[in-house]
Amino acid sequence: MGVRVVVGAQFGDEAKGKITDYLAATARYVVRSGGGPNAGHSIHLPEGPVVLHQLSCGVLRHGVVGVSGPGMVVQPFALEDELHDLERRGLLRGEVALSDRAHVILPIHEAEDAWEDALRSKRNPAASLGTTRRGIGPAYADRAGRWGLRVGELSRPAIVRERLDLLYATKATVPDLPRREELEPELIEVGARLAPIVRPTESMLWDAVDRGDGILLEGAQSALLDVDFGTYPYVTSSHPTSAGALVGSGIPPTAVDAVIGVAKAYNTRVGAGPFPTEDSGTAGEFLRRVGGERGATTGRPRRCGWLDLVQLRYVSRLNGFTSLALTKVDVLGGLDEVPVCTQYVLADGSTTRDVLPTHAEDLEKVQPVYERLPAWPEFHERTKERIRREGASALPSTLRRFLGYITDETGVPVEWVGFGAAREDTVWLGPPTVHARPTGVAAWSG
């Protein structure tokens, strides 16, 4: 298997958790490389649904090590709760490893996050970022400011005391901070409880690379929320790209064998920010209802719209996708047609097919140009059962043409298709056939 990277190709919520869980069946290590408890990966097991926030999907499979990597920001008390919940349900089947280099989200970060977003909204309601208020941004800011607290330092009371002194001094204007004299012993105690799973995970992964073990790097959020290349400022505070996965795990780029982009057959977004293909009418409501589009972490309804190939081409080039996993094709089954955005008309009348405007204000003003493709029949249970039994050959012919269209338009092969929430509702289309492409990217021939 080698090293494979899974990256969200839209605004998040593309069913990355489902695809990662599916691919984890052939992995020895599954590494969550960035983000914190603002992300939720929903996985539908026979025992019921599971939402993972700070643990990787690997912890759900026997013989797999689930790594929470050095690029993460970790809320230790919430992580304990997540571990205890899985243990209570009998679902903690793999090993757990927590990087000693991951940074700690403190209750003061959560207070700061809520205060900052409220301040934005008060000054300008349109400026609210719609954050989850879980302290992710302030924790990453303190990491960059070099006065953050790392997981491995929770076992050193002198360091905990020193960093808290600094943090409370720098955040003196933030209201409603927790009492410092209570927080310090709580952090030392939770550090002691988590100590058995804390280790230098990068050396563990280097040894795994040398042995040829299967390693899966699991993305949180998605490429269009990258702090540098996403729809800034409506982004997360880290790098949910293939490059970010390497930095957040410690694995060198020369070890990577494949980069898999995950996209829905349509598009969604949670929170504020530009969304060119959003449908605010009955079609958008249909996608929200049939697709069950609510945030796994916040429960907020997702904004819904149509597949955007301009964005997909952009993130494909940014991340170096070697293949795509297209999910939730069943949601579109039974429609009369499937709109797909192929290009934007910009404010000056020019068009773009694979480059996004740098400024969110400009992206808000683009006019999407749609190609309307034939839809496929509704996905009844008997259709799903046939696909589970017969594989890709049982996919409806119009859906197969849709997949080929995406491959032709992006230059990236669609290699997996998700047609339901369950583990078994994923079908592999076979190894991609290599063709010479103008972009230098191989495409699956269908």
CA distance 356 to 315: 10
Catalytic residue among 13, 113, 117, 142: 13
How many other C-beta atoms lie within 10 A of the C-beta of residue 314? 21
CA distance 356 to 237: 20
Q: Measure CA 79 to chain center.
A: 18
Strand partners, 259: 5
62 classed as catalytic: no
CA distance 267 to 276: 10
CB of 148 closer than 8 Å to CB of 103: yes
Q: Where are the beta strands (DSSP E) in 64-160?
A: 65-68, 73-74, 95-99, 103-104
CB of 261 closer than 8 Å to CB of 307: no
CA distance 200 to 217: 17
Candidates 109, 108, 191; CA nearest to 156 is 191
Burial class (CB in 10 A: 0-12, 13-18, 19+), 136: buried
Enumerate residues 6+ apart whose C-beta is below 8 A from 359.
none
41 classed as catalytic: yes
CB of 132 closer than 8 Å to CB of 297: yes
Candidates 264, 208, 195, 277; CA nearest to 58 is 208
Catalytic residue among 21, 41, 100, 226: 41
CB of 224 closer than 8 Å to CB of 10: yes
First to last CA, the chain: 23
CB of 154 closer than 8 Å to CB of 191: yes
Triad 26, 317, 73: Cα angle to 5°: 60
Q: How many angstroms separate the most distant Cα atoms in the chain?
A: 65
Question: Residues with catalytic annotation?
Answer: 13, 41
